[in-house]
Structures are given as structure tokens and as C-alpha cells.
Amino acid sequence: MTRLPLFPEQASTVAGQVDALLFFLLGISVFFTLLIAGLIVVFMVRYRRRPGVDYVPETHGSLALEGLWTAIPFGIAMVIFFWAASIFATIHRAPDDAIPIDVVGKQWMWKLQHMEGKREINELHIPVGRPVKLTMTSEDVIHSFYVPAFRLKQDAVPGRYSTMWFQATVPGEYHLFCAEYCGTLHSGMIGRVVAMEPSDFEAWLSGQQPGEASVPPAVAGENVFRALGCGTCHRADGSGQGPSLAGLFGKSVTLTSGETIVADEGYVRESIIHPQAKLVAGYQPVMPTFQGLLSEEDVMRLIAYVKSLKAEGGS
């Protein structure tokens, strides 16, 4: 099957599972199509109108038959449901040790950033045999990150974060497509994913990039944080007008509404863009909005910086 030119190679841990489900669905469809079309032809010939033969039938209901042809499709539908749901759950739950990579889609390119500092455009280098988790958003319209060889596709949506994870199994270069029509040069929004042996990947990762390009996002985020004067209110010791950010990421936060939420990427982003949307209990709505003042990449850098702040007050 991998010889078929229209069928991309299987290069991730989920590719085989997705293909197996696809072939099961295809098999079921082909079986019933042939069965029904075949019976139509057989009955057409066998019960055609002929002189001297009267086929006006006597019909009897059969509860057993009704039950059977209700139960069989139900059973098939349930097999498809649980099978697909289990693959869906696998695809949507990233392992905790996945390598985090930030992705911003914009007309018409993919911008990617490794936490060690390397930045890439329309290219993603990853090691094989290790889970990788992409956190994605868009600077403008909806794009979709599609790697056929991994059998994975995920929308990058402006104003929110979506995630996608995979583990490459075979070193090589794979197509990366934008799979959501996003404007004039949508068809040119393509690139490649380079899966490398872990040692090659480490060498690539530590290779030099010119200038600012290799600053880790947490460090770049700290520079943005300083430049915007965020530290005036968000003091590490909690004495400022805004809550301390030290050790915040991943913790539960109590809001003025009494609601409790977990401080994840989406929450931190919203608190930068719409500070009043989820106000932390005990604080005044004094923070200005940074909507339109920060690129999505800068917001991701700020989040990387907030993530790096440990509870001891490491700022």
C-alpha cells in the first residue's frame, strides 16, 4: 500500500492506526455497496414481469428480521464510534514529556519557535522517537497545519491556542501544508517537516543562527516584559498592584467571580489581551489591554517567560 504514489508514507505513531480505521470504513462501505447493488440486479432479473407469471406478493412482517437489521448496523456503528474515539483521545492528549514548540500561522507562512531558541519558517526540525507538542495560533485568519505522513491536521485559529502532538517514527522529510483556504497565496503556504535521529537533532538544535534568531522565547519574553513595564505592577513578592506571576503557570487561580480556573496558555493570553475578562480575586481592574500592541509571537514569548517563573520569585 505504501507503494501507491497517492498514499503518503506512515511516519508517526498514529499513522498506522488512522489508516487501519480508514480501511475498515472503506471495507464496510464497499461490502454493503456491492451487496445492495448486487441484490438489486439479481432481483431485477429474477422477478421481472413476464407473461403468465404474477409476482404480486404476500407480505408478512417479521420482528426477528427487523431486529436483526437494526442490531447489525447498530453494532457496526458502535465499533466505528469506540474505535475512532480511542484514536481521537490518543491524538488529543499529549504526553507530559512532549517537546513544546510554538507555532504562529500568518498570511502566508508558518513561524515556529523551539524553546531552546531556534526559530524556523516553513520548516520544522524534530527528533524521531520523541513526542512533540505544537501550541498554535494565527496572526490573521484560520490556517491549518497538515502533515499527511503523520496523518495529522489541526487548525491554527486567531485569538486562541490549539495544540497538536505527534511522535515521528521514521527519519526523513515530509510535506507540510496549510489545509485551510486562507487567501491568495494559500497554495504557497507549504513547507517541510524534517524528522531526524535524536543525535542529529541535538546537533542541529545547538547550531548557530545569526543574531536575535536564537534567543530562547523565555528570555525574549522577559525583554518584552521589561520593555512594557509589566514588572511595575506584577512584582514577584506580590506587593504590586497586579498579582505576582511567580509560580503562576499551571496553578489554580480564584477569580473575582468566585470561579476557579487553571492558568494555562489560553488564560495567560486572554489576561494580556483582555485583562478584565478574568480578574484575579482581590485585584482592581486597572491593567490596560495590549490588544493590537503585541504580535502573537510576542504573546507566546511572554507566556514562555511566565512559564519560566518559579514560585521562589525568580524574576
Question: What is the number of other CB atoms lying within 10 angstroms of the CB of residue 252?
Answer: 8
Residue 128 vs 156, nearer CB to ligand CUA: 156
Q: Which of residues 99-128 bind ligand CUA (CB under 6 A)?
A: 105, 108
We find the least distance from the C-beta atom of residue 113 to ligand CUA, in angstroms, to be: 18
We find the least distance from the C-beta atom of residue 183 to ligand CUA, in angstroms, to be: 7
Q: Does 248 bind ligand CUA (CB under 6 A)?
A: no
Q: Which of residues 24-83 bind ligand CUA (CB under 6 A)?
A: none
**256: which DSSP letter?**
T
Residue 106 vs 234, nearer CB to ligand CUA: 106
Q: Does 265 bind ligand CUA (CB under 6 A)?
A: no
User: CA nearest 248: which of 313, 187, 293?
Assistant: 313
Residue 108 vs 225, nearer CB to ligand CUA: 108
Q: Does 143 bind ligand CUA (CB under 6 A)?
A: yes
We find the least distance from the C-beta atom of residue 109 to ligand CUA, in angstroms, to be: 8
**94: which DSSP letter?**
-
Task: Please tell me the distance from the alpha carbon of residue 99 to that of residue 114, in angstroms, as a whole number.
Answer: 9
∠ at Cα 211 (210, 213), nearest 5°? Answer: 80
Residue 146 vs 174, nearer CB to ligand CUA: 146
The number of residues that bind ligand CUA (CB under 6 A) is 9
Cβ–Cβ under 8 Å, residues 96 and 89: no
Three cell numbers written together for 109: 507562512
Strand 123-127 relative to strand 119-121, pairing = unpaired
We find the least distance from the C-beta atom of residue 174 to ligand CUA, in angstroms, to be: 18
Three cell numbers written together for 118: 531556534
Residue 109 vs 287, nearer CB to ligand CUA: 109
Cβ–Cβ under 8 Å, residues 191 and 197: no
We find the least distance from the C-beta atom of residue 138 to ligand CUA, in angstroms, to be: 8
CA dihedral sign of residues 250, 136, 13, 191: negative
We find the least distance from the C-beta atom of residue 273 to ligand CUA, in angstroms, to be: 22
Cβ–Cβ under 8 Å, residues 113 and 102: yes
Burial class (CB in 10 A: 0-12, 13-18, 19+), 31: exposed
Q: Which stretch binds ligand CUA (CB under 6 A): 46-54, 86-94, 173-181, 233-241?
A: 173-181
Task: Please tell me the distance from the alpha carbon of residue 85 to that of residue 81, in angstroms, as a whole number.
Answer: 6
Three cell numbers written together for 45: 432479473
Q: Which of residues 176-235 bind ligand CUA (CB under 6 A)?
A: 178, 180-182, 186, 189
Residue 81 vs 181, nearer CB to ligand CUA: 181
Residue 179 vs 280, nearer CB to ligand CUA: 179
Residue 108 vs 174, nearer CB to ligand CUA: 108
Binding site for ligand CUA (CB under 6 A): 105, 108, 143, 178, 180-182, 186, 189
